[in-house]
Amino acid sequence: MPTPIIAPFPASRLRRLRRTPAIRAMVSECDITPANLIWPIFVTEVPGAEGAIPSMPGVERLTLDGAKRAAERAANLGIPAICIFPHSDQNLRTETCERAWDADNIGNRAIRAVKETVPDLAVMTDIALDPYNANGHDGIVVDGEILNDETVEALVRMALVQAESGADILGPSDMMDGRIGALRGALEQAGHKHVAILSYAAKFASAFYGPFRDAVGASGRLVGDKKTYQINPANRGEAIRCVARDLAEGADMVMVKPGLPYLDICRAVKDQFGAPTFAYQVSGEYAMLEGAIRNGWLSRDAMMESLLCFRRAGCDGILTYFAPQVAEAVRS
Ligand code: PBG
C-alpha cells in the first residue's frame, strides 16, 4: 500500500487561532473599553462618614469635593458617566421622604458640583426614595404596604429636581409600575426633553445588594424586604415583560441588575429589543471579587474577565465599582 498523500488530520484545529497574542487579538469577538463603563459613587453629607466602606474594600464614601475629584478622574480616564448615590443624614430621613425632592439634598448638590467641575461628563442619578426614607424602602410605606401610585408622584418630583440640577441620565431604580411613562411625560412638560432615562427595568430582589445598603446607611433600617416590587430571581419571562413595558413607556436605555448571575437576561434583552442595554455589577458582586483578589485567592484578571463577560452577553455598558481600575488597566 503506498503512503496516502493526505494524512489523517483533525477536521479542525481551533488551537491554531489561539497560538499567539497577535492572532488571539485578531479573532477576539468583543472587548472592554473605558467608554463601556459607568462609575457609581457614594456622596455623603454627614461629617465624619466619608471614607472606607468595610463591606466594599477599596470603595469610599466621598465628600462633595471628593465627588468633584472623582469626576475629574473619570473624565481623564475616558469614562463617559458617573452615577451618584447619596448617603444622607439618618436623622433627616422621614416616612414621607420629602427630602427626596429638595433641591439642596446631597444628591442634587453633588449633581451641580460635578456638572460645574466637568461639564462634559454625563451624570446619572438614582430615582428611588430609599436614601431619604426612614424605613429604607424605595417607595412610600403606609401600614406596611408600599404604595405604587403615591410613590410614582414622589418619584416624578424627585426626577424634575434632578433634571433641574443638571442630571443627564435619570436612573429609576424603584420598580414601581407606571413610573417611566409618568417621568417621561413630566420631563417633556417641564421642558427637559433631552434628559435620558436609563431604566432599572429588570431589577431583581437580590441578596447581592447588601454592601450597597451598608454604603448608603440603609442596613438594619429596612423594614421587611423588597420582594413586593423587585423581581423574583426565578423569573426570566417577567423580566422581559418589564423591559418591554419600560421601553414602550419611553425609557431610552435599559438595565439588568444584578449582573453576573443574570447574564442570560442580558443576552435575552439585547437580542429581543436591540436597545442600549446595561448591566449593574452590584455591590455584592464587587465585594466577592475584590475580597477574593485582596486575599490572593483570585488574580486581578478575574476583574477584567467579569467585565468582558458582560460584553459577550450583549451589554453595551456596565455600571461597576471597578470602573476606574478597569479604565486604568485597559489604557496601560
Ligand atoms: C436602591 C438601589 C439599590 C441599589 C441601587 N439602587 C439597592 C436596593 O434596591 O436595595 C443596589 C446597588 C448595588 O448593590 O451596588 N434604590
Domain 32-331 has CATH 3.20.20.70: yes
Q: Is 126 in the pocket of ligand 1 (CB under 6 A)?
A: yes
For residue 119, give the nearest of 192, 171, 168 by alpha carbon. 168
For residue 204, CA distances in Å to 69, 121, 265 come to 32, 29, 11
Say what the pLDDT of residue 244 is: 98
Q: Is 212 in the pocket of ligand 1 (CB under 6 A)?
A: yes
Give residue 126 CA to ligand 1 midpoint distance, Å.
9
> Which H/E stretch holds residue 202?
strand 196-203
Helices (H), the chain: 21-26, 64-77, 106-117, 148-165, 179-189, 210-215, 236-248, 263-273, 283-294, 301-312, 323-331
How long a stretch of residues is the chain?
332
For residue 100, CA distances in Å to 81, 93, 103, 157, 327 come to 22, 9, 8, 8, 32
Rama region for 35: left / alpha / beta (φ>0; ψ in -120 to 50; rest): alpha
Interatomic CA distance for residues 115 and 217, integer angstroms: 25
Active site includes 203? Answer: yes
Q: Is 128 in the pocket of ligand 1 (CB under 6 A)?
A: yes
User: Which of 88, 127, 130, 179 for a ligand 1 pocket mutation test, highest count of atoms within 8 Å of Cβ?
Assistant: 130
Residue 64 is given by DSSP the state H
Q: Is 216 in the pocket of ligand 1 (CB under 6 A)?
A: no
The answer to whether 249 and 180 have CB atoms below 8 angstroms apart is yes
Q: Which of 68, 115, 193, 203 is catalytic?
A: 203
- pLDDT per residue as tens digits for the range 293-324: 999 999 999 999 999 999 999 999 999 999 99
Closest residue CA from atom 2 of ligand 1: 173
Report the share of the chain in percent with pLDDT over 90: 94
- pLDDT per residue as tens digits for the range 133-172: 999 999 999 999 999 999 999 999 999 999 999 999 999 9
